[in-house]
Structure 1
Amino acid sequence: MTHTAGDGSIYHQSNSGTGFGSAVGDNMNWRTDSPVTMASTPTRLWRVVRGTDNKIYTSGHAGSYRFGGEEIKNWPTPHGPALAYHANRLWLFLRGTDGFMKAATHASSWSGLQDVSGPQSNRLASEPAAASHNGKLYVMYSRPAP
């Protein structure tokens, strides 16, 4: 579980099955005013966040407690991203600066950011949410008022 403090700093907690441990300050020193999203792959726990500079940052670990991280390309967004693991790929969804949904995947490196095809209804009002279930990838989002 991750959460942010009033100054935008990020904290995380884990649960070993008997309850959540104490909140630990994040070692990345990122600041955000958006939700932090997490997804687990077979080899890594990923975390993605939109910084207060509107850039997307990723971090993850493969067994150690500390996260290592980097900026993902230059994908500005006014809202937090969504993250899900599906079909052996990590999927990232975000609201582009044009208001439309964008997607990228990660297998061994990040793909380019692509428009999600579909009707004008792919215009987002805020951040999306994503999950994989029973062989399908689901993305939910709210649309702006007409």
Structure 2
Amino acid sequence: MTNTLTTAPIRIIGSAAADIARHVTTYVRPNRGWAEVQVMRDECRYGCKLYVRRRGCVLQYALIHSCTYGCPLGCDPATRVVPVSVAPAAENSDRRLDALGGRDNDRPAELADDQLDALLLAWRDEADSVPVAELVSTDAALAVIAGARDGSA
């Protein structure tokens, strides 16, 4: 999408999204209006910018085209604001899920550094520490269900 004018929704993933998310969580305060994040050179040849605003714990991103930069899309209210989604975890989700579901010795060090991953690992370890009781056979479970339908259980 180099040197274009974008009016379609934009999705930013991977390390670029992670950089944006890190910047936003550090510098953007709740209920303060739109805050400038970065210039979107690939999406707008006029150098229009990505903005974010925080509504409670929800972040809203938008590429806002501006007449100030000479962008024709910024002069039309229908094309001025382009929704943007930012998904920093998309590229690592499969690896992360595999690591969270693995055994203790399969645990990558970077998972322990992330607060959410550390919490999920602690929950998994707690659940794994309690032995699972003997399971009911399929036939016994079906008999209980049938008895409940008949009112005899």
TM-score, length basis structure 2: 0.27
Task: Determine which structure has more spread, i.e. the larger CA radius of gyration.
Answer: 2
- Higher relative contact order (Cα pairs below 8 Å, separated by 6+ residues): 2
Higher strand residue share: 1
Q: TM-score scaled by structure 1?
A: 0.28
1 or 2, which has the higher helix percentage? 2
